[in-house]
Amino acid sequence: MKFIVKLLVIGLFLLVRLASSAQTKINPDDIKDKMQWFADAKLGIFIHAGIYSVDGIDESWSFHNNKISYTDYMKQLKGFTLKKYDPSAWADLIQESGARYAVITTKHHDGVAMYDTKMDDLSIIKATPAKRDMIKPFFEELRKRDIKCGAYFSLLDWSHPDYPGFLNDSSRYKIENDYERWNRFRQFFQGQIKEISTQLNPDLFWFDGDWEHSAEQWESEKVRNLILTNNPKAIINGRLQGYGDYATPEQNFPVSRPKFNWWELCMTTNDNWGFHHDENWKTPYEIITIFVDAVSNGGNLLLDMGPKEDGTIPEEQIHVLKELGAWNKRNGEAIFNTIAGIPQGHFYGPTTLSKDSTTLYLFLHGQSSGTFMLKGLVNKIEEITVVGNGTNLSHKVVGKISWSPVPGLVYIDVPVNVLDKYVTVLKLKLDKPIKLYRGHGGFD
């Protein structure tokens, strides 16, 4: 019985979170211009850096879920040194990965600010041996490299004495019983957002933890306006109870194409956001195929890394980012500044299109050579090349019936010696913008 209740609670929690990331009060036409860089960017790097890296435990959730006492969790403050922190090395690695933006934790659910907050004393500047602002120098390095800066900020704050929520089985108070106290918290968190906005001027605000309260309680609209007054071009993710600009599914891979104008899949490289004793690393091949899949469906990938308490990045993450970067160097033409590919069913793999739709890119997974088929292409193909090495490939159109509107099948020969180490990309130059036949063949 207890188990069923637990399952129901988890189910409800997930539903609320999915729903909160899906509904939006923002009209896409009003934000089209400012969203353009985001749509073109395709790859972002997420950074979860916080005191949880000291013991290598779940970020914030470990005390909330009673895996460790709050007192022991906060003892990690004393071990957070950043003594080898080199923001330029982080920015170099991000640039090498091919990412066009980065999003970093300015404050996670544990309430520890990673930037110089004046709103209270719980920051790594005042409460840890690191004694320094982690965010400002990092943003400066990103900006030198023309990489957009994103600030992750947890609305909920399980450490703040005026925040109602604390552990998963206990809270401090109920808002309806003490509006004054809730108002004090609102002034606090909105004050921090103002600070981040004016001190750091992020290109993107990445909120988290909105699920604990409603739009009215957070004053989401006011929060949005507060950000936009300072920077009208700032982008806001979809975790502000309906007042964000784009959807942020987390760790869940869409099968059908999501119906959002802009979306971003955020994903860990092992199974955890912060540095953790967890060896379940995704391989470069897995990450590249997930990335390609997101882009072909019109989304971005926000790939996470979790630095250690001294500011160094785990070797495995460096390796993955470098391999991804090398693949992007070879194949980036088919990724960056493209648009979502053709609908599923024409080609058994991911695809993207150039913005003018006169070039179609086909992605071949897993070192596969042989003869590939493309269905329903009305256009004439002018040329097929392999992206990355420029090899010309031949093709054959099969089964075109002169009196029928149904196009023939395109067969493309891909020899083994042209293959990419991970995912090979074919570039099809078309005679004009793509036109597809989407009917039922002889049954039309």
Structure-token pair, residue 252: 């869940």
- Rounded to a whole number of angstroms, the minimum distance from the CB of residue 108 to ligand GLC is 6
- Rounded to a whole number of angstroms, the minimum distance from the CB of residue 208 to ligand GLC is 5
Structure-token pair, residue 76: 């990690």
- How far is 60 from 110, CA to CA, in rounded Å? 5
129 close to 178: Cβ distance less than 8 angstroms:
no
Q: Considering the rule CB under 6 A, would residue 208 count as an interface residue with ligand GLC?
A: yes
Rg (CA), the chain: 24
- Rounded to a whole number of angstroms, the minimum distance from the CB of residue 65 to ligand GLC is 11
Binding to ligand GLC by CB under 6 A, coded x per residue (else -) over 22-51, reads --------------------------x---
Which residue in the set 140, 178, 250, 333 belongs to the binding site for ligand GLC (CB under 6 A)?
250
- How far is 205 from 227, CA to CA, in rounded Å? 9
Q: Considering the rule CB under 6 A, would residue 205 count as an interface residue with ligand GLC?
A: no
| Cβ closest to ligand GLC, residue 203 vs residue 264 | 264
Q: Which of residues 316-335 bind ligand GLC (CB under 6 A)?
A: none
Question: DSSP string covering 224-292, please?
Answer: HHHHHHH-TT-EEBS-STT--SBB--BS---SSPP--SSBEEEE-SSS-SSS-S---PPPHHHHHHHHH
Task: Tell me the backbone φ, ψ of residue 256, rounded to 5 degrees.
Answer: -85, 155
- Rounded to a whole number of angstroms, the minimum distance from the CB of residue 339 to ligand GLC is 25
- Rounded to a whole number of angstroms, the minimum distance from the CB of residue 141 to ligand GLC is 22
- Rounded to a whole number of angstroms, the minimum distance from the CB of residue 153 to ligand GLC is 11
Size of the site for ligand GLC (CB under 6 A): 6
Continuous segment of H or E residues that includes residue 139: helix 135-144
| Cβ closest to ligand GLC, residue 253 vs residue 348 | 253
| Cβ closest to ligand GLC, residue 215 vs residue 362 | 215
Which residue in the set 59, 210, 309, 420 belongs to the binding site for ligand GLC (CB under 6 A)?
59
| Whole-Å CA distances, 169 to 8, 17, 65, 344 | 16, 19, 8, 45
Q: Considering the rule CB under 6 A, would residue 273 count as an interface residue with ligand GLC?
A: yes
Structure-token pair, residue 357: 């739709």
- Rounded to a whole number of angstroms, the minimum distance from the CB of residue 48 to ligand GLC is 6
414 close to 367: Cβ distance less than 8 angstroms:
no
| Cβ closest to ligand GLC, residue 59 vs residue 420 | 59
| Cβ closest to ligand GLC, residue 212 vs residue 310 | 212
In SS3 terms, 16-51 reads as HHHHHHHCCCCCHHHHCCCCHHHHHHCEEEEECCCC
- Rounded to a whole number of angstroms, the minimum distance from the CB of residue 250 to ligand GLC is 5
Q: Considering the rule CB under 6 A, would residue 266 count as an interface residue with ligand GLC?
A: yes
- How far is 7 from 20, CA to CA, in rounded Å? 20
Strand partners, 47: 104, 305
Q: Which of residues 78-117 bind ligand GLC (CB under 6 A)?
A: none
Q: Considering the rule CB under 6 A, would residue 221 count as an interface residue with ligand GLC?
A: no
Collapsed DSSP state (helix, strand, coil) of residue 327: helix
Dihedral sign (CA 290, 291, 296, 298): positive
- Rounded to a whole number of angstroms, the minimum distance from the CB of residue 274 to ligand GLC is 8
Q: Considering the rule CB under 6 A, would residue 278 count as an interface residue with ligand GLC?
A: no
Q: Considering the rule CB under 6 A, would residue 243 count as an interface residue with ligand GLC?
A: no
User: What does the binding site for ligand GLC look like in residue numbers (CB under 6 A)?
Assistant: 48, 59, 208, 250, 266, 273
